[in-house]
Amino acid sequence: MDDFIAARSQMALSLGFHIIFSCVGMVMPFFMAIAHYKYLKTGDKIYKGLTKAWSKGIAILFATGAVSGTMLSFELGQLWPKFMEHAGSIFGMPFSLEGTAFFVEAIALGFFLYGWGKLNPWFHWFTGLLVGISGLASGILVLAANAWMNSPAGFDFVNGEYLNVNPVKAMFNDAWFSQALHMIIAAFIATGFAVAGVHAFMILKGKNLVFHTKAFKIAAISASIAALIQPLSGDISAKDVSKRQPEKLAAMEAHFHTERNADFILGGIVNENEHKVDYAIKIPGLLSFLSHGDFNAPVKGILDFPEQDRPPVAIVHYAFQIMIMLGVALMIISILYLLAILKKKSWLSKKWLIKLFVMATPLGYIALEAGWVVTEVGRQPWIIYKIMRTSEAVTPMPGIAYTFYLFTLIFMSLSLIVIFLLYRQIKMVPYLYDETDPKFIHKPTNK
Amino acid sequence: MFDLYVVIFFLWTAIALYLLLGGADFGVGIAELFSNKKNQEQIHKIMYREMGPVWEANHMWLIIVIVILFVGFPQIYSTLSTYLHIPLLIMLLGIIARGTAFTFRHYDAVIDNWHKVYNKIFIYSSFITPFFLGIIAAATVSGTINTEATEFSTAYIWSWLTPFGIALGVFTSCICGYLACSYTISQIENEEEKKYIGKKVKIFLISVILSGGLVFACAGYQNLPLIRWIYGGVVGWAAVLFATLSAIGAFYCIYKNKYSAIRILAGFQVIMILLAVTYGHYPDLVLLKQGSLSLLSGENEPKTIKMLAWALILGSIFILPGVFHLIYSFQKKR
């Protein structure tokens, strides 16, 4: 395997792995805080058990996210030393703030996990909420750093030198807001559907019904609301990308030729030799409208960009299609569920609705990963858009293919262990977390 | 210039705190590794009781160090991560294995044979990680990083694989074990447990002194002016003197069976050792075969340094009270 491709693959793998856990860290604490709030208000022991069960899940996933995040802070330099040498002092600002936010998150989690029966109940509740707030803050800050790679700002690039560095301008670059908004909502959808799906599965199996139904409801409502507002942020993102990175937009839509009244292409197979998309559904004029707000606006095609500056079309297009289609699917499920809650209460006890959620368990995360493929592969061949090429940034050390294989092995085993542990947590619900279950083991201490 | 000194101060403090707190965490595993099967579980139980709540926070210091380096001193960060790719990678594997095994063994809802697996991973990676931290630290000052090398082994292996590196790796691991045991022992009330961990404190303190001697020997073998760095100025002399006094104090505590002061003595001793070895070649952080990389080179961006200094000051206002409150409240209310 070529070292350059290996370095890119290793980075993609590490980020793709880390993203899942960081999303959990951003979202699940809020679910936990809702359950905890209900327990403090009503005294319902089931909510107490649910809060504890979720907090254990968060602890496992947070630790995995913390180590993979630590690793990433080293990998940036190990794989892309030339990039970090120039970019570090420009886009590092959000990273140093993120360090603070992440630290607060770790401390708050420490307080929360060991605070049962030791802290004032509402202060304890607040430390749980703080885990989520600081998680969200660190997510937004890291997105600001990534957005800078898409929309470099805060310096002057003169004759290959980076002058007049302004880290604040770099942080609040043009892509920052739309990327952060889209990703935070995506995190709620992905985590919400994953959590709801797991509890839905337990409901289908008829285990600890009251416990799992309460858990399901919190996750499903949050996920559904997020899924319904996501198209709005998607629209903001699309308009932003079409303005700043027209090649990325062209690749997303496999839009080869510049034209007015451009079609929006759904699905299909990209034919890169003949510059067209076979078997696709075409909606006339929609691409022009979505990217410029005008059905007749011209949309630049990928062929109008110099060949050495074009991102790979097929991968970006397929990833974009996967994201859109899964997003729509989750939106339909969300509409059905919200309808059931508000109007058709009888649906709530129906198996088909629960089954839909079980099937949707991984979909949010798949859409989220696909979205990141669009962002990152769509930026190629640049590591800093129009400033530095990815190939110029890669480490001179040979043999990266081997570290890539090693990392693949590690991530695969870590994933398996995490799934195994979560499975055991769920299996132990009747013994450890559901106090109404006759199998529940009452312990003298609250540890 | 003031901003730059603030950043350098935080860099050093973060390294020191990582050594004190993260090091003690590694030490837990090292203490388990060097004890017989029968006592392993007991050590594990005692130490987890003392260290549990702060685990997550202890390892954040490393991230702070890295972030300060790549934001403030990107040249240093990229040089180190290129030429020390391999030891950094091994250290990272250690961090991953240790961090996950630690969490898994405490949050696995079912207790069965899997715990033996987590345990094995935990104790071995607890030893490997600080060992490689020591190797990396040694490599930054050994002058073995050759930025003009074209051959793989010269550029990426002999840059760090040296007798001095291995000696410093062993020394770092010994320090971690010593810190863990002396932190724990001040907390223990049970007499039998106290006696047992007390023995460990003594063994680790002796090993710190012996491996420290080895570090000097290897430095001499590689013609490193370690002695001149340390004894070349008043600060170095004073630091070594204080470290020696702390060690004597610690021996006295062990002899008298009074352990309440030993954690402060151990922590102070380690800080003095760190001060002695880092002060000598300040402001050069990295000594290469071709010249050196200085913290005061002036190549960094003034605006970035200013922002970083403010971020660190603000961050510490948020973080430090939290960390201390966390440690304090769980010690008091246990």
A95:B304 CB<8 A: no
- Alpha-carbon distance of A185 to A146, in angstroms, equals 17
Query: What does the pLDDT read at residue B226?
Result: 81
Question: What are the sequence ranges of the domains in chain B?
Answer: 2-331
Which amino acid is located at B116 in the chain? K
Give dist(CA B240, CA B252) in Å, integer. 18
The pLDDT of residue A97 is 86
pTM attached to this predicted model: 0.89
Q: What is the pLDDT of residue A103?
A: 82
Q: Is the pLDDT assigned to residue B24 strictly greater than 60?
A: yes
Amino acid at A36: H
Query: Can you give the pLDDT at residue B56?
Result: 62
At residue B199 the predicted structure's pLDDT band, cuts being 50, 70 and 90, is: confident
pLDDT in tens, B146-158: 888 788 888 888 8
Q: Decide: residue B291, CB within 10 A, 0-12 exposed, 13-18 middle, 19+ buried.
A: exposed
Residue B53 has what pLDDT? 56
Q: Flag if A425 and B109 touch (Cβ within 8 Å).
A: yes
Selecting from B95, B102, B326 the residue whose C-beta is nearest the C-beta of A70 gives B95
Chain A residue closest to B115 (CA)? A421
The conformational region for residue A386 under phi > 0 = left, psi -120 to 50 = alpha, else beta, is left
Of A78, A113, A398, the CB nearest to B152: A398
Q: Which of A71, A86, A396 sits opposite B96 (nearest CB)?
A: A71
Q: What is the predicted pLDDT for the residue at A446?
A: 43
The pLDDT tens digits for B220-262 are: 888 888 888 888 788 888 888 898 899 898 888 888 877 778 8
pLDDT (0 to 100) of residue B51: 65
Q: B197 vs A365, which has greater pLDDT? A: A365
Q: What is the pLDDT of residue A128?
A: 93
Least trusted range by pLDDT, from A29-33, A262-266, B78-82, B186-190: B186-190
User: Residue B144 above 90 pLDDT?
Assistant: no
Residue pair B308/B7 in contact (Cβ under 8 Å)? The answer is yes
pLDDT band at B36 (very low <50, low <70, confident <90, very high): confident
Q: Is A88 on the interface with B (CB under 8 A)?
A: yes
Beta carbons of B68 and A96 less than 8 Å apart? yes
Q: Which of B56, B77, B79 sits opposite A109 (nearest CB)?
A: B56
403-442 of A, contacting B, C-beta below 8 A:
403, 406, 410, 414, 417, 421, 424-425, 427-428, 432
Looking at per-residue pLDDT, the higher value among B174 and A441 belongs to B174
Is the ipTM, as predicted for this complex, more than 0.90?
no
Among A193, A189, A182, CA closest to A146: A182
CA separation for the pair A140, A146 (Å, rounded): 10
Residue A330 makes CB contacts below 8 A (sequence gap 6+) with: A189, A193, A223, A227, A360, A363, A364, A367
Ranges in chain A, pLDDT < 70: 443-447
Per the CB < 8 Å rule, is A63 touching B99?
yes
Express each pLDDT in B292-328 by its tens digit: 787 777 677 788 888 888 888 888 887 788 777 777 7
Identify which of A283, A271, A368, A384 has the alpha carbon closest to the alpha carbon of residue A317: A271
Please judge whether B70 and A88 are an interchain contact, meaning their C-beta atoms are less than 8 angstroms apart.
Answer: yes
- Predicted confidence (pLDDT) at residue B124 exceeds the cutoff of 50: yes
- What is the predicted pLDDT for the residue at B328? 73
- Which DSSP helix (H) or strand (E) runs through B292? strand B292-294
- The reported pLDDT for the residue numbered B118 is 82
At residue A328, the pLDDT reads 94
A43 touches chain B (CB under 8 A): no
Question: Tokens 């083991």 — which residue?
Answer: A441
CB–CB contact A71 B308 (8 Å): no
Per-residue three-class SS string for chain A: CCHHHHHHHHHHHHHHHHHHHHHHHHHHHHHHHHHHHHHHHHCCHHHHHHHHHHHHHHHHHHHHHHHHHHHHHHHHHHHCHHHHHHHHHHHHHHHHHHHHHHHHHHHHHHHHHHCCCCCCHHHHHHHHHHHHHHHHHHHHHHHHHHHHHHCCCCCEEECCEEECCCHHHHHCCCCHHHHHHHHHHHHHHHHHHHHHHHHHHHHHCCCCHHHHHHHHHHHHHHHHHHHHHHHHHHHHHHHHHHHHCHHHHHHHCCCCCCECCCCEEECCEEECCCCEEECCEEECCHHHHHHHCCCCCCECCHHHCCHHHCCCHHHHHHHHHHHHHHHHHHHHHHHHHHHHHHCCHHHHHCHHHHHHHHHHCCHHHHHHHHHHHHHHHCCCCEEECCCEEHHHHCCCCCCHHHHHHHHHHHHHHHHHHHHHHHHHHHHCHHHHHCCCCCCCCCCCCCC
What is the CATH code of the structural domain delimited by B2-331?
Answer: 1.20.1630.10
Nearest beta carbon to residue B103 from set A63, A68, A92:
A63
Other Cβ atoms less than 10 A from the Cβ of A104: the count is: 23
The verdict on a CB contact (< 8 Å) between A167 and B315 is no
- Tell me if residue A347 falls in helix, strand or coil: helix
Q: Which tokens sit at B108?
A: 């696995």
pLDDT at position B334 over 60: no
Question: Is the CB of A397 less than 8 angstroms away from the CB of B155?
Answer: yes
Residue B54's pLDDT is what? Answer: 60
Of A436, A312, A426, whose CA–CA distance to A361 is shortest?
A426
